[in-house]
Protein backbone atom coordinates (compact mmCIF):
# COMPACT_ATOMS: atom_id res chain seq x y z
CA UNK A 1 0.00 0.00 0.00
CA UNK A 2 1.08 3.55 -0.74
CA UNK A 3 -0.70 6.56 0.77
CA UNK A 4 -0.19 10.31 0.79
CA UNK A 5 -2.11 13.55 0.53
CA UNK A 6 -1.69 15.81 -2.50
CA UNK A 7 -0.43 18.54 -0.15
CA UNK A 8 2.56 16.32 0.73
CA UNK A 9 4.06 17.04 -2.71
CA UNK A 10 4.98 20.29 -4.47
CA UNK A 11 4.48 21.47 -8.02
CA UNK A 12 7.66 21.46 -10.11
CA UNK A 13 7.63 25.26 -10.50
CA UNK A 14 6.35 26.28 -7.07
CA UNK A 15 2.71 27.14 -7.79
CA UNK A 16 2.35 25.39 -11.16
CA UNK A 17 3.55 22.58 -13.39
CA UNK A 18 3.31 18.87 -12.67
CA UNK A 19 3.14 17.38 -9.19
CA UNK A 20 3.72 13.62 -9.21
CA UNK A 21 2.09 11.66 -6.42
CA UNK A 22 3.55 8.45 -7.84
CA UNK A 23 6.40 7.88 -10.30
CA UNK A 24 6.92 4.20 -10.99
CA UNK A 25 7.53 1.42 -10.67
CA UNK A 26 4.54 0.62 -12.92
CA UNK A 27 2.86 3.99 -13.63
CA UNK A 28 2.93 7.75 -13.06
CA UNK A 29 0.06 9.57 -11.38
CA UNK A 30 0.11 13.33 -11.05
CA UNK A 31 -1.71 16.62 -10.92
CA UNK A 32 -0.83 19.33 -13.45
CA UNK A 33 -1.57 22.98 -12.71
CA UNK A 34 -1.25 25.41 -15.62
CA UNK A 35 -1.39 29.16 -15.16
CA UNK A 36 -3.12 31.37 -17.76
CA UNK A 37 -0.94 31.53 -20.89
CA UNK A 38 1.26 28.62 -19.81
CA UNK A 39 2.32 26.03 -22.39
CA UNK A 40 3.84 22.57 -22.11
CA UNK A 41 6.52 21.87 -24.70
CA UNK A 42 5.63 19.41 -27.44
CA UNK A 43 6.63 15.85 -26.78
CA UNK A 44 5.73 12.22 -27.29
CA UNK A 45 6.41 8.99 -25.49
CA UNK A 46 7.71 5.88 -27.22
CA UNK A 47 6.31 3.40 -24.70
CA UNK A 48 4.04 5.18 -22.24
CA UNK A 49 0.40 5.97 -22.88
CA UNK A 50 -0.89 9.12 -21.19
CA UNK A 51 -4.34 10.04 -19.99
CA UNK A 52 -5.58 13.43 -18.81
CA UNK A 53 -8.73 14.28 -16.85
CA UNK A 54 -9.59 17.98 -16.46
CA UNK A 55 -10.53 18.88 -12.89
CA UNK A 56 -10.79 22.64 -13.45
CA UNK A 57 -10.61 25.06 -16.35
CA UNK A 58 -10.16 24.59 -20.10
CA UNK A 59 -7.03 23.46 -21.91
CA UNK A 60 -6.12 23.14 -25.59
CA UNK A 61 -4.15 20.16 -26.83
CA UNK A 62 -2.57 19.78 -30.24
CA UNK A 63 -2.33 16.04 -30.84
CA UNK A 64 -0.55 15.20 -34.08
CA UNK A 65 -1.84 18.46 -35.59
CA UNK A 66 -5.45 18.07 -34.42
CA UNK A 67 -6.60 20.73 -31.94
CA UNK A 68 -8.81 19.56 -29.11
CA UNK A 69 -10.19 21.79 -26.35
CA UNK A 70 -10.95 20.05 -23.08
CA UNK A 71 -13.14 21.45 -20.30
CA UNK A 72 -13.85 20.48 -16.71
CA UNK A 73 -14.92 16.82 -16.67
CA UNK A 74 -13.33 15.93 -20.02
CA UNK A 75 -10.94 12.99 -20.43
CA UNK A 76 -8.45 12.23 -23.18
CA UNK A 77 -6.18 9.28 -23.83
CA UNK A 78 -2.96 9.65 -25.83
CA UNK A 79 -1.26 6.60 -27.31
CA UNK A 80 2.53 6.09 -27.46
CA UNK A 81 3.96 7.94 -30.47
CA UNK A 82 1.25 10.62 -30.57
CA UNK A 83 2.92 14.02 -30.34
CA UNK A 84 1.16 16.49 -28.10
CA UNK A 85 1.39 20.16 -27.13
CA UNK A 86 -0.65 21.53 -24.23
CA UNK A 87 -1.63 25.15 -23.59
CA UNK A 88 -3.82 27.15 -21.26
CA UNK A 89 -4.95 30.04 -23.43
CA UNK A 90 -7.74 31.00 -21.05
CA UNK A 91 -7.88 33.41 -18.12
CA UNK A 92 -8.27 30.81 -15.39
CA UNK A 93 -6.09 28.14 -13.86
CA UNK A 94 -6.21 24.62 -15.29
CA UNK A 95 -5.88 21.56 -13.05
CA UNK A 96 -5.68 18.09 -14.57
CA UNK A 97 -4.98 14.57 -13.44
CA UNK A 98 -2.31 12.88 -15.58
CA UNK A 99 -1.47 9.19 -15.67
CA UNK A 100 1.18 7.43 -17.72
CA UNK A 101 1.82 3.71 -18.05
CA UNK A 102 3.77 1.56 -18.24
CA UNK A 103 6.35 3.57 -16.31
CA UNK A 104 9.54 4.15 -18.31
CA UNK A 105 11.94 6.64 -16.71
CA UNK A 106 13.38 8.23 -19.87
CA UNK A 107 10.56 7.96 -22.39
CA UNK A 108 9.93 11.61 -23.27
CA UNK A 109 10.98 12.78 -26.74
CA UNK A 110 10.77 16.53 -27.37
CA UNK A 111 9.21 17.67 -30.66
CA UNK A 112 8.63 21.01 -32.40
CA UNK A 113 5.62 22.16 -34.37
CA UNK A 114 6.02 21.89 -38.11
CATH of the domain at 45: 2.60.120.10
pLDDT in tens, 20-42: 999 999 999 999 999 999 999 99
**Number of structural domains in the chain:** 1
Enter the pTM of the model.
0.95
pLDDT in tens, 88-102: 999 999 999 999 999
Show the CA angle centred on residue 33, arms to residues 114 and 37, nearest 5°. 50
pLDDT attached to residue 113: 77
Q: To the nearest whole number, what is the mean pLDDT of the chain?
A: 96
Which uninterrupted H or E stretch holds 17? strand 17-23
Please indicate, yes or no, if residue 103 is contained in any of the structural domains.
yes
Please indicate, yes or no, if residue 67 is contained in any of the structural domains.
yes
Please give the residue range of the domain that contains residue 86.
Answer: 33-109
Please indicate, yes or no, if residue 39 is contained in any of the structural domains.
yes
Please indicate, yes or no, if residue 86 is contained in any of the structural domains.
yes
Q: How far apart are CA 113 and CA 51, in angstroms?
A: 21
Residue 56 has pLDDT above 70, yes or no: yes
User: Taking residues 58-74, what's their average pLDDT?
Assistant: 97
Amino acid sequence: MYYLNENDKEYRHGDHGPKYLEQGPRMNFGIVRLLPGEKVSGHLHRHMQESFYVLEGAVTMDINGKLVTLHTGDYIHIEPGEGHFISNSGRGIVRMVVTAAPYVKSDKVMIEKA
